[in-house]
């Protein structure tokens, strides 16, 4: 949980900085909109992705020439009694996080419900118009005209406009503006972005991205509404009151600072704006390499057979790894002694304790003819120092009783799963 929170915060901050640098002052509104929606979703999910172990680790997965079927050895790490305060602090973080998510989702649901109820009330009290009534609005959109100073806004397919003090040209501009919000499904964008913000509620950059998305929506609507000759539209903007609020879930006519909107209306698209999106790819790739979990390596069965064993002229077995063997290699004292050895010698890494890392580490090694251990490697990694600790103890093991074929010691590759588990 802590690792996910750190990586998500880092990713959101990096991508927000990239947006400010490349997109914020450009008129590539469709690209900016897609960037903000995709990136925030990516930041909330990528730490849970898994990449192949061969990509995440410098130690490639090794094919097994023999898989010994043996019980898993569990190494149980107990948080020391002298660290109860630290353990308590770490344990409370998930509760705080999920409590925040529940609160944010509750606020969003209440806002959506309240707005839906308000729209329903307006539809009962005032006439509802459509494109068939002669209004230039998108097909399927519904227009509610309120005879007061209600600030124009759109909510999914509904457009609400207060008509008091508006002349015909101003009404045309407002409808053109709000029609863009409806036709381009900006309300869906806002709801999706708010859900992402609920998941990443602890990251201020997420809420800043929501603000930027609202601005992009307004820039898109302004560009379509101005339609070349923007004098009447600019005059209407000057008459509106400026303001902004994170809590809104509607597309309000004056939700973004008018000065910024006027500046963007007079800008031109940069020549290479579309290529700017590619700048996010190396950042995403770097974050995937650093923040993703390594996928467990699959243990492959070898096709080697007894007939492939190299036999020398004097009828002694060579240095090939043998599969199958008549007598499997054994730890001195058997499997019970091996489990006791691992339990007494493996120490749960401090980093794994702090990050609450648990799981199964697969270690492969070769039991030589003299019983010594060589070539120990990690096949399945979980990180947090567990891999290194498993290798350390395996390499320190005493000599085994070697595997035998026809009574002759042979080299056998052995797979040992060790489960690290916190209690």
28 vs 144, which has greater pLDDT? Answer: 144
198 compared with 270, residue with greater pLDDT: 198
Q: Alpha helices of 126-266 — where are they, by DSSP H?
A: 168-183, 186-199, 204-226, 231-239, 258-265
pLDDT higher for 88 or 184?
184
Closest to 344 measured CA to CA, from 397, 410, 269: 397
pLDDT at 187 exceeding the cut of 90:
yes
- Is the per-residue pLDDT at 249 higher than 60? no
The band of 273, judged by pLDDT with boundaries at 50, 70 and 90, is low
In this structure, of 141-145, 239-243, 319-323, 397-401, the range with the lowest mean pLDDT score is 239-243
Residue 141 has pLDDT above 60, yes or no: yes
Q: How many other C-beta atoms lie within 10 A of the C-beta of residue 314?
A: 5
Q: What percent of the chain has pLDDT over 70?
A: 70
- Show the tokens assigned to 264: 């963007």
Least confident of 87-96, 366-375, 378-387, 392-401: 87-96
Please write the tens of the pLDDT for every residue from 389-401: 999 999 999 999 9
Query: Which of the residue ranges 52-66, 249-263, 278-292 would you say has the lowest mean pLDDT?
Result: 52-66
Which whole-number Å values give the CA distances from 256 to 31, 87, 96, 155, 381, in the listed order? 19, 45, 32, 17, 49
For 339, counting Cβ atoms within 10 Å of its Cβ (0-12 exposed, 13-18 middle, 19+ buried), the class is middle
- Is the per-residue pLDDT at 131 higher than 80? yes
Q: Confidence class of residue 90 from pLDDT cuts 50, 70 and 90? A: low
What is the C-alpha end-to-end distance of the chain, expressed in Å? 17
Residue 320 scores a pLDDT above 80: no
Q: Give pLDDT, residue 82.
A: 41
pTM assigned to the model: 0.58
Lowest mean pLDDT among 143-157, 218-232, 333-347: 218-232
Higher pLDDT, 336 or 422: 336
Q: Mean per-residue pLDDT for 173-185? A: 90
- Return the structure tokens found at 302: 């070898």
- Asked whether 13 and 205 are in contact (CB, 8 A), the reply is yes
The predicted model gives 137-164 an average pLDDT of 91
Q: Tokens at residue 280, please? A: 């996010």
- Among the residue ranges 15-29, 72-86, 223-237, 276-290, the one predicted with the least confidence is 72-86
Beta pairing class for 251-252 and 153-155: antiparallel
Residue 298: pLDDT over 80: no
- 176 versus 71: the higher-pLDDT residue is 176
pLDDT class of 4 with cuts at 50, 70, 90: confident
pLDDT at 134: 87
Which residues lie across from 377 on neighbouring strands? 364
More confident residue, 317 or 294: 294
């Amino acid at each position: 949980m802590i690792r996910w929170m750190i990586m998500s915060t880092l990713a959101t901050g990096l991508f927000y900085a990239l947006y400010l640098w490349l997109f914020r002052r450009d008129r590539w509104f469709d690209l900016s909109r897609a960037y903000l929606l995709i990136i925030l979703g990516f930041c909330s999910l990528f730490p849970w992705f898994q990449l192949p172990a061969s990509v995440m680790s410098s130690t490639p997965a090794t094919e097994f020439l023999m898989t010994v079927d043996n019980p898993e050895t569990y190494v149980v790490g107990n948080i020391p009694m002298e660290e109860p305060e630290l353990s308590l602090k770490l344990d409370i973080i998930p509760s705080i996080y999920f409590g925040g998510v529940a609160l944010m989702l509750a606020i969003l649901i209440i806002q959506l419900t309240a707005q839906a109820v308000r729209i329903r009330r307006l539809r009962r009290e005032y006439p509802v118009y459509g494109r068939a009534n002669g209004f230039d609005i998108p097909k399927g959109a519904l227009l509610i005209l309120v005879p007061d100073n209600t600030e124009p806004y759109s909510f999914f397919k509904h457009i609400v406009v207060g008509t008091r003090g508006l002349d015909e040209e101003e009404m045309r501009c407002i409808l053109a503006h709000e029609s863009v919000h409806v036709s381009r499904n900006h309300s869906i964008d806002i709801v999706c972005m708010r859900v992402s913000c609920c998941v990443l509620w602890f990251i201020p950059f997420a809420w800043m991205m929501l603000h930027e998305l609202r601005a992009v929506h307004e820039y898109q609507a302004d560009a379509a509404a101005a339609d070349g000759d923007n004098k009447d539209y600019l005059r209407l903007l000057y008459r509106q009151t400026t303001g902004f609020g994170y809590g809104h879930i509607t597309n309000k006519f004056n939700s973004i600072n008018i000065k910024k909107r006027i500046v963007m209306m007079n800008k031109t698209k940069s020549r290479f704006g579309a290529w700017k999106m590619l700048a996010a790819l190396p950042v995403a790739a770097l974050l995937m390499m650093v923040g993703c979990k390594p996928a467990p390596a699959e243990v492959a069965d070898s096709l080697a057979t007894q007939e492939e064993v190299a036999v020398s002229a004097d009828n002694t077995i060579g240095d090939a790894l043998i599969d199958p063997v008549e007598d499997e290699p054994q730890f001195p004292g058997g499997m019970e002694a091996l489990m006791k050895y691992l339990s007494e010698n493996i120490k749960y890494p401090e980093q794994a304790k702090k990050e609450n890392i648990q799981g199964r580490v697969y270690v492969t090694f070769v039991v030589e003819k003299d019983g010594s251990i060589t070539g120990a490697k990690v096949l399945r990694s979980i990180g947090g120092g567990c891999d290194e600790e498993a290798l350390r103890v395996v390499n320190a093991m005493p000599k085994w009783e070697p595997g035998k074929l026809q009574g002759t010691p042979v080299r056998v590759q052995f797979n040992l799963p060790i489960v690290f588990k916190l209690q």
